[in-house]
Structure 1
Amino acid sequence: MQVKDRTFLITGAASGLGSATAERLVAAGASVVLCDLNDSVNAHAERLGKCAKACMADITSAEQMQRAVDEAVAFGGESGLSGVVHCAGVVSVAKLVDRDGNAADLEGYARTIKINLVGTFNVMRLAAAAMTRNTPNESGERGVIINTASVAAFDGQIGQCAYSASKAGVVGMSLPAARELSRHAIRVMAIAPGVFETPMMSEIPDEAAKALAAAVPFPKRLGKPDEFAQLAEQIITNPMLNGEVIRLDGGIRMQ
């Protein structure tokens, strides 16, 4: 799958990993539809120019995401929608039982699962349905889907039951989705980032963030959003990458 002259839908595109991915793909000659609930996505699309279009939508809404996919297909013209990079999600921290002996809030757990896992499935199913209608390119591909998991799917820490479960679900969907969509010549991959410099990190106390950076074997720092974007671009352009989850974490293993 080539990047140049192709159209990609990017969720969570107002900031962080999604924003960086949009910038990299546009620089490589792609058109992008930026999807987010934050209205700052409109300004980001304007900065990227005529090759970018904003669409505010909730990834858990069937109707809103269908509209976003339809806009991406239309924006792509004859080539339609060539791929989706799904970066939208939330971080949540809650112990099963707090220090006073109170049980965790069930609604909070369900919200994390709905956004991170059900939302991923929603985006994937709608994007895949649109891409099945594409004419195969010169290498026989119709499209590519890249989801965002997390190292927490494998190395969840205390307080991450909801977040780890949601991201483990994303990991678990990768292979069966890739197997199913192979008949349509659509690839499915996932990236499992470690600790990255994104707005989500602002929700973590400074001392905790410094400790996480120090725990990375090499390079001993937080990941940069463009490093995620670089891997996403490489996945798009390498047709043998399919049905796999790639850890992008500098070798960190959470304790």
Structure 2
Amino acid sequence: MQIKDRTYVISGGASGLGKATAELLVENGASVVILDMSTESGEELVSKLGSTKAFFHETDVSSSSSIASAVKASLEFIKKTGHELGGVIPAAGVSLPAKIVDRNGEMCDMDQFDFVMNINVRGSVDLVRQFCPYWIKRQPEKEVDGGDAERGVIVLVASSAAFDGQPGQVAYSASKGAIASLTLPLTRDLARYGIRVVTIAPSLFESRMTSMMTQKVRDSLLRVMEFPLRPGQAHEFASLVKHSIENKMLNGTVVRLDGGMRMPSKM
């Protein structure tokens, strides 16, 4: 899929991995729609990228009505710029660590479990779902090599926790495992429309979420890294998003972005 003169919608796009992705795509000629709960951060990013290339809409991805409002506003921005929808990148995510039962015998809070699942799974699926009716009706991108034309790319965000989750990650691992598992059926649902699906599963990356880790947790993760011996950087995630957009043979797959790291079972 072409990046230049296409629009890419990024939830969680005002900070961390989503922000780095927005910046790289604009650098390569795209327009971006940034969906986030933080109005201050979103508007600051638009100011940096330019209002002709970036648009912000305050969005709660756990709410279907909020997503519907975001989709409507996004399509108005697309009509204004003339840059058709090229991709949807649901990068909004949360983690609320809690063991199923703690050392005092207290059970985990199911409201917190539901919150994580609603943002990470429901929010991702709902965002994709609500763009699809528009997406499948528009003309696909013409291919210069005479191959099959495509309409766009969905880049989902899982985590290494989907495969080797740590103690206290029942909710988070369940949510990211769901994203990994739905990659192939979503691919098969949308293949007839020329829409690809790629999921990226990063390990420890510098982000707003990981900045809240205790030093003990961070040190335990650094000890099991292979190479490089450091957390991933946001621009490294963004570069894989860029490649996923441009490489048509990436479809229906989950790509681990972890430097060979496997999460430890104990801190």
Q: TM-score, normalised by structure 1?
A: 0.97
d(CA) in 1 for partners of 2:239 and 2:8? 15
| Alignment correspondent of 1:122 | 126
Structure 2 gap ranges (5+): 144-148
Match of 1:69 among 60, 68, 71: 71
d(CA) in 1 for partners of 2:138 and 2:47? 28
1:211-245 deviations in Å (ceiling 9; x for gaps): 31232100110000011100000000111111111
CA contact (8 A) 2:14 2:34 kept: yes
- After TM superposition, the structure 1 stretch with the greater mean CA deviation from structure 2, 57-66 or 189-198, is 57-66
CA contact (8 A) 1:69 1:130 kept: no
CA contact (8 A) 2:5 2:84 kept: no
| Alignment correspondent of 2:17 | 17
d(CA) in 2 for partners of 1:28 and 1:248? 22
Once the two structures are TM-superposed, the CA of residue 198 in structure 1 deviates from its matched residue by 0.3
- 1:100-119 correspondence to structure 2 within 5 Å: 100-119=104-123
| Alignment correspondent of 2:146 | none
Once the two structures are TM-superposed, the CA of residue 46 in structure 1 deviates from its matched residue by 1.1
| Alignment correspondent of 2:164 | 155
Task: Determine whether 1:146 maps to 2:155.
Answer: yes
CA contact (8 A) 1:7 1:72 kept: no
Percent identity, aligned pairs only, is: 44
1:167-203 deviations in Å (ceiling 9; x for gaps): 1011111000000100111111110010000011121
d(CA) in 2 for partners of 1:150 and 1:217? 17
Match of 2:59 among 57, 63, 68: 57
CA contact (8 A) 2:154 2:197 kept: yes
Once the two structures are TM-superposed, the CA of residue 79 in structure 1 deviates from its matched residue by 4.5
1:218 is paired with a residue whose SS is coil
d(CA) in 2 for partners of 1:127 and 1:221? 37
Q: Cα RMSD between the aligned structures?
A: 1.1
State the number of aligned residues.
Answer: 255
Q: TM-score, normalised by structure 2?
A: 0.92
d(CA) in 1 for partners of 2:74 and 2:241? 18
